[in-house]
Structure 1
Amino acid sequence: MFKTFVPEPREPGWVLIDAAGQPIGRVASRIASVLRGKHKPDWTPNMPTGDCVVVINAEKALLTGSKPRTKVYTRYSGYPGGLKRTPGAEMLAQKPTKALEHAVKGMLPKGTLGYQMFRRLKVYSGETHPHAAQKPVKMEVR
């Protein structure tokens, strides 16, 4: 008789990703994979088996091709006429952490599990971060 393996819940590890000089989409897909736990052999789609991710140098991430001109980030206040549009280049210049978080959030599952995974993402625009005590393992983006 075959038994289904269900991993035990445990403390997540910490991963450090440097976004300097990397396209936002490539970094975001790698981050989403680590947050979901797909890099681990005991990955389970219905459990948060992923690690916490610390991203540094978000202001040095890139939008490639024509995306700085054509990509538009939108948000809506809920009021009539409350739709705000921000071009990609402007968003990357003013709020680089929000641009990266937006890309990652779109790649995670929707619902309670995805929100739980998203809370494990910490994005910083500079080199320094307050999570050195967790000793994050540096991971390369391919």
Structure 2
Amino acid sequence: MIRKTDMAVEAFQQGNVKEALKIAKDFKIGLTKEEHKQIVCGYECMVHGDFYKQIGKNPEAETKKGIKVFFEKVYLPSLNRKDTVEEWCPHCEDEVDLPKAFTPHTCPNCKEVILPCNQCEDRFCLSCPLESLKEKKKVAQ
């Protein structure tokens, strides 16, 4: 599975900063509200620069701020994140990074038990070998 983070990083590495910010403007994990807002504003200033000039903003400066946040909070951390896998939590409906281990995990956001389905080779989920472990982990919590 190709993660959105990987797509944004790849676009950035290829020099397509606009595409990288377009993807990253939906990221919330690992960003403060202000950092998220800066990435969004940086992208919006690239797309609608004239509008932002009309409302008194400097699109070039705002874009640079968005790129800086992307670089520091998305790009650099992604270079060190080879031992995790992105998983969708069905409880809080958010994408989270989990350790790359085929075992039930606790969602870092909502604290519910989730399974590492992205690591499973059986895409039909008919006989999940972790389902019974999931119940045991719930009881242990």
Q: Same fold (TM over 0.5)?
A: no
Larger RCO: 1 or 2 (CA < 8 Å, sep 6+): 1
- Specify which structure has the higher proportion of strand: 1
Q: Which has the larger radius of gyration?
A: 2
TM-score scaled by structure 1?
0.27
- Specify which structure has the higher proportion of helix: 2
TM-score scaled by structure 2?
0.27
